[in-house]
Amino acid sequence: MTGSVVLRPARPDPEEGKAFACYVETAADHLFRVMFGAGAESVLARAFMTSGHDLSYEHVVFADRSGSLVGMISGYTEAAHRKSADSEIMKAAGVLRSARMLALSPLSRGLVRFMDRLDDGDFYVQAVGVDQSARGEGVGSQLLDLAEERALGASCHRLVLDVACTNTAARRLYERRGMEVVAESPAIVFVPDSSVYRMAKQL
């Protein structure tokens, strides 16, 4: 592919919401599909359009090449996470999918609590993704560099993220960037290989 990549803030646009949903669901190894069912991506896309919560467009930056999205990163400070309103996400999910999520919550409680906990001064990288067509071109590194810049700009002292324990390739990428495994989550009950590593880097 030709053309330079520009990193730009996301807009509350339905098409960008669909792109966000695809990137996040892939990055989360389809955890949201477990929570919300087959319509998970539509829930994520609707939630993206609103503000004041972890899945909002406010926390998203896209990698744009000549008008085509080729990558994305989503991240926020511990302070922003603390103020996140789950009500907007539940509204996007609707009654039935919210009920499904609540019904499954006892099985996933350990994992959700683990991923939900951030320390003072943390900047959390919620998701990062790069299109297959743009891999190997440094787009992922640009996005992670931006996350570090945003973290430092917000006076955060640690960059953190969660990665599936089975995703060895991603873990090695993050290790090359100076991150290390600091904890391992419980798995979702009856869902093998669903635990994650918390990785961190001091800034």
Per-residue pLDDT tens digits for 126-166 = 999 999 989 889 999 999 999 999 999 999 999 999 999 99
pLDDT, position 32:
86
Q: For the domain that residue 125 is a member of, what is the CATH number? A: 3.40.630.30
Over residues 37-46, the pLDDT tens digits come to: 888 999 999 9
User: Which ranges of the chain have pLDDT less than 50?
Assistant: 1
- Between CA 176 and CA 197 the distance in angstroms is 16
Query: How many CB atoms are closer than 10 A to CB 12?
Result: 14
Is the pTM for the entire model greater than 0.95? no
What three-state secondary structure class fits 164?
Answer: strand
| Number of structural domains found in the chain | 1
- Between CA 24 and CA 17 the distance in angstroms is 10
State the angle between helix axes of 14-27 and 40-48 in degrees (0 to 180), rounded to the nearest 10.
130
With CA atoms as reference, report the closest residue to 112 among 121, 96, 101.
101
